[in-house]
Structures are given as C-alpha cells and as structure tokens.
Structure 1
C-alpha cells in the first residue's frame, strides 16, 4: 500500500510543523487524530491552529531527490514551498520558494509559447520582405 505524505503546518505562518513522509509496503494510513497522538510535536499544539495538506504519492519526487525540503505552505495557494541546499554555501538559509519541478513546468510552457510567438514573427517578417520585394519590382519596371 502507498501511504501519501502529510504536511502539518501552522495556520498563521504556514511554517511546517511535521512532514510525515510517504511510505510504501506494509503501512496503514493514519488519521489526523492518530497523528496528533503519535507525534509529540503535534500533540503539543492545539489542533485548530494546525492545517494539513496531503500530497499525492510520488509527487515532488525530483524535488526531494535533489535535497529539497518543504519548509512552509503558501497560505493563499496551499502549495508547498521548498528550500534547497546551496552547494557553495550550505550553512546559509534560503527563502522558501515554489518547487523547482513546478518552476521547470512553468518555464517549459513559457518556452513553448515563446517559440510559437517567434515562429509567427518570423513568418510575418518573411511576408513583409516578400511584399517589399514585389513593390520594388513594380517601382523599377
């Protein structure tokens, strides 16, 4: 059985309190109440001050493989925000940001759009060149 990752976060700040991780095999999915009784960091808090986001199994796999850690949840979009280790300065904390995998998807979409726009502009420039050439031929006849 595949158990999905649960992210428990502070409802005021979005800071992650507990990431349960995802599990595969002989595991049983737990309820919110069971998690509050199992994890000390949750049991020390009032349940109504904590939000929970459950991720699909395997989501953000490339982000986790690259050392990414969910440190906050965007309170407006409820999307997880990651920090990634800086290979040149691992001690300096970085600001949480959207998952790199999501940023890559957005850039790929933007690249496709820009390529289409570039192609359309190229075709238009070719057309304008042809029109100018035709006009020049008519003028010099």
Structure 2
C-alpha cells in the first residue's frame, strides 16, 4: 500500500505543524483524528484551528528530489509552498514559493500556447503576402 503525506498547518498563518511524510509497504492509513492522538504537537492544538492537505503518493517527488521542502501553505490557494536551497549559497534562507514542478507545468502550457499563436500568426502573414502578391500581379498586368 502507498500512502501520500498529510500536511497539517495553522489555519491562521499557513505555517506547517506536521508533515507526516509518505509511506509505503506494510502500512495502514490513519484518520485525521488518529493523527491528532498520535502526534503530540497536534494533540496540544484545537482541531478547528488546524488545516490539513492530503497529498497523493509520489506527489511533488521532483520537488523533493531538488532539495525542496514544504515550508508553508498559501492561504489563498491552499497549495503547499516550497523552499529550495540556493545552489550558490545553500545557507541563505529562501522565500517559500509555488512548487517548481507546478511552475514548470505552467511554463510548458504557456510555451504550447505561444507556439500555437506564433504558428497562427505565421500562417496569417503568409496569407497576407500571397494576397499582396496576387494584387500586385493584377495591378501590373
């Protein structure tokens, strides 16, 4: 069985309280209530002040592989925000941001759209050139 991580966060700030991590093998999925009983840091909190995000198994694997970790939850989108080490200065703290994998997906979509728009503009320019050439042929006859 494969179980994705649960991210518990403060509803007021988006700060992470517990990241249960993903599990696989001979494991049993717990309920949110069981987690509040099992994790001391959750047990001392009022459940109504804590939010939870259930991730799929393997979700954000590419981000974790890049050294990223979930630093906070965006309270507008309820998406996890990642912090990645700076390749030049790994000790310098970075601002949490959207997962790089999501940013890459958005850039791929933008790139596909821009290619389609460029192709359409090129076809239109070719058409206009053909029309002008045809008109010039008619005028100079």
* TM > 0.5 fold call: yes
Normalised by the length of structure 1, the TM-score is: 0.94
Q: Deviations over 1:71-124 (max 9, x none)?
A: 111122211111111111112211111111111111111111111100010011
Q: Which sections of structure 2, spanning at least 5 residues, go unmatched?
A: none
Secondary structure of the residue aligned to 1:133 is: helix
Give the RMSD, CA atoms, in angstroms: 1.2
Greater displacement, 122-131 / 38-47: 38-47
Secondary structure of the residue aligned to 1:7 is: strand
Displacement of 1:41 in angstroms is: 2.1
Q: Which sections of structure 1, spanning at least 5 residues, go unmatched?
A: none
Give distance in 1, aligned partners of 2:104 and 2:123.
28
Give distance in 2, aligned partners of 1:64 and 1:55.
13
Normalised by the length of structure 2, the TM-score is: 0.94
Give distance in 1, aligned partners of 2:136 and 2:27.
78
